[in-house]
Chains A and B, each alone.
Chain A
Amino acid sequence: MAIESKQFEIFSGTGGVGKTTMATSRAIEIANSGKRVLLITIDPAKRLKELLGLNDKDSGNAVTITNPLELGEHIKLDALLMNPEETIKRIAEQTNTQAVAQSRIMKILAKPYGGLNEILSIVELQMNLDKNIYDTIVLDTPPGSHFLDFLESVDKIRAFFDQKFVDIFNYVGKKSATTPKGTGRKLMTMVVSGGVKKLMGYLQKVTGGKFVEDFMEAVGAIYQSKDSFISALNLQKELKDHNKSNWYLVTSVDQNKMKEAMDLRDHAKDLFDNKTYIILNKCLNEKLEDWKPQEDDHLAVKLKESFSHRENDLKTHMKEKFQNVLEFSEVLKVSPLDHVKELITQWKNIEQKSKFEQGS
């Protein structure tokens, strides 16, 4: 029994559990049913590239994958590898100002590893949603605690574009294109209470004047493009709506990461509720049951014991904590393509397991 696809399919998880491969196979499975799908990855490991045959020059733009994994021409699948530089270019176009793309500081930060990936991916997600051409957007989020950065990015954007700051920067920076809304005493009060003027004074002491100048310019530039950022704020509500979003928390039996998975869940409690799917990847299942080592084969006995313990421990624990547990079997295929193909088949036949079902 397959799982019904929603407008957003979001994959999170501890690292190295096959999250990207899982998201890719899900995207293709949904596309295979005739829907138009976009797959976005902000995982800096960029494994999608290898899986889908994308080039480096494609990064940052949604590219149509023709005949993915040789599954047929009817599949409508686009893929996007996050690239901050390209997103900032698009923001500049969208808001009709080149300032944000030309700012010296922004140029440095928009390098692939400048650190803006998580925040800009929310903006990118909104931009692609606005295109109104995709039935489903599958999102592969960064691993582990960086997923929390991603989740927090909406709040970070909101804090940064607080109207109070905007007014203050219009006043202090004197570089922004728009005129300050409040003037005189009212604005001065805000500058003082927000502490920005004082802060800038200290900043200048520590960083030197040139930086403060460039910095004001960068902030001014970002503010000129604020519409692109602010439009992304609405996404938070939609992502939390279970009618629109499926959330998957991926973990794997070959790792001792139960605690990390639970940490992730606990840190994002309002997202991970009883509708969240927990994926147990790389289950050995019958491969383990069929393995009957001779008693005197000590190494084999010990290996089987540790493999079984690991797998059963995780299964029991997760079925207690989550209502929707999906078990995916270990795929032994060497080629990434065959690997994804087998996972697509598993998606089609997946059954949800939980203690609730077992109990009844």
Chain B
Amino acid sequence: MTDKIKNLYIFTGKGGVGKTTLSFSFAKYLQDQGRKVKYVYFESSSISNSQSPIDQGQELGRALGIDSIALDLKECAQAYVSKKLKSETIGKWVVKTPFFKALINMIPGFNYLIYLGRILEYLNEDPDLTLVLDSPSSGHALTMLEATHNFSEIFQSGIVFDDTKKMIDLMFSENFLQVNILTIPTMMAVHESQDLDNSLQKIIQINSKIICNNTFHDLEGIEDANLPDFLKSKIENELQVVKEHSSLIAAYVTHSPSISKEQISKDLAPSMKSLV
């Protein structure tokens, strides 16, 4: 395995394993190394009229000095259609038709294709850029990564088909993409991340790492601290996980006892080297 910095890092894993925090820590680490990096997330998974988007951490990005890109489905779709039909007016019109909206909203895999297309465009435009994608949790990450294959199967010919093929070629080219699957140190969570990794490998050979986040056993000075029973048994369970799955887990990220998310992301940044 090479340690060359990839163009795209996708952080996934089940909910609550620290995707957002670690995505930012990782982006911060790369930025501190002098790398040009941006944090990316999907604002919504449908084109809706009313809702304000869920803010996944732009605030945190600002505090850490990391640029964020919030991808909006409607804008991405419009940009693509406009480019292909060589007219912004038509692009705008197509995306606005109730039918197009209804269609996109009924076929969720299609959003991910549109999103991925936009991400790859950013990377094409600037080869020095690294994007860190704070991806949807496990199942939806699979929907996203399967989308290119599913839709190239659906389209079979035409411009979209060619573009989808190009996306696949780029995404799965050497040193381009890495999927970091995050987990927490419990048996069940590690098994789930292993399942996810297996499903990923079934789609296509993807460069992936399982990262165990929020461990206590390797916290500095933990052996000498006087801990309550609930923490002792937590650490005991952790050590069991480490013992049984050491070959599976590529890196451990130690718990940060800080209180604010900003400080936690800063605390963890130096240890992100192993996630490259």
Which of A30-38, A296-304, A320-328, A346-354 is the contact stretch?
A296-304
- In the complex, whether A113 has a CB less than 8 A from a CB of chain B is yes
A349 vs B171: C-alpha distance when bound (angstroms):
52
Closest 6 CB pairs of A and B: A15-B15, A16-B16, A44-B139, A208-B158, A115-B108, A115-B109
- In the complex, whether A256 has a CB less than 8 A from a CB of chain B is yes
Tell me whether A156 and B105 are in contact (CB under 8 A). Answer: yes
Tell me whether A300 and B138 are in contact (CB under 8 A). Answer: no
Tell me whether B150 and A114 are in contact (CB under 8 A). Answer: yes
Which of B32-40, B47-55, B122-130 is the contact stretch?
B47-55
A108 vs B164: C-alpha distance when bound (angstroms):
16
Q: How far is the CB of B13 from chain A (nearest CB, A)?
A: 9
> Which residues of chain B are near A157, meaning CB under 8 Å?
106
Chain A, range 285-308, C-beta contacts under 8 Å to B: 287-288, 290-291, 293-294, 297-300, 302-303, 305-306
Tell me whether A202 and B99 are in contact (CB under 8 A). Answer: no
Tell me whether B222 and A17 are in contact (CB under 8 A). Answer: no
Residues of A in contact with B, size category: 35 or more
A275 vs B80: C-alpha distance when bound (angstroms):
44
Which residues in B have some Cβ–Cβ distance to A below 8 Å?
Answer: 14-17, 21, 44-46, 48, 51-52, 54-55, 81, 84-85, 90, 93-94, 97-103, 105-110, 112, 136-140, 142-143, 146-147, 150, 153-161, 184, 187-188, 191-192, 199, 219-222, 224-231, 233-234, 237, 257-259, 261, 264
> Which residues of chain B are near A199, meaning CB under 8 Å?
94, 97, 99-100
Tell me whether B156 and A194 are in contact (CB under 8 A). Answer: no
Q: How far is the CB of B110 from chain A (nearest CB, A)?
A: 8
Tell me whether A160 and B15 are in contact (CB under 8 A). Answer: no
State the main secondary structure of chain A at its contact with B: helix
Tell me whether B102 and A146 are in contact (CB under 8 A). Answer: no
Tell me whether A14 and B15 are in contact (CB under 8 A). Answer: yes
> Which residues of chain A are near B228, meaning CB under 8 Å?
287-288, 290-291
Chain A 249-262 interface mask (CB, 8 Å, partner B; 1/0): 00010111101100
Tell me whether A146 and B140 are in contact (CB under 8 A). Answer: yes
20 A–B pairs (Cβ distance < 8 Å), ordered by A: A15-B16, A104-B154, A108-B150, A109-B150, A113-B142, A114-B109, A115-B109, A115-B112, A146-B136, A146-B140, A148-B44, A168-B99, A202-B94, A207-B161, A208-B157, A263-B54, A284-B230, A297-B226, A310-B259, A334-B237
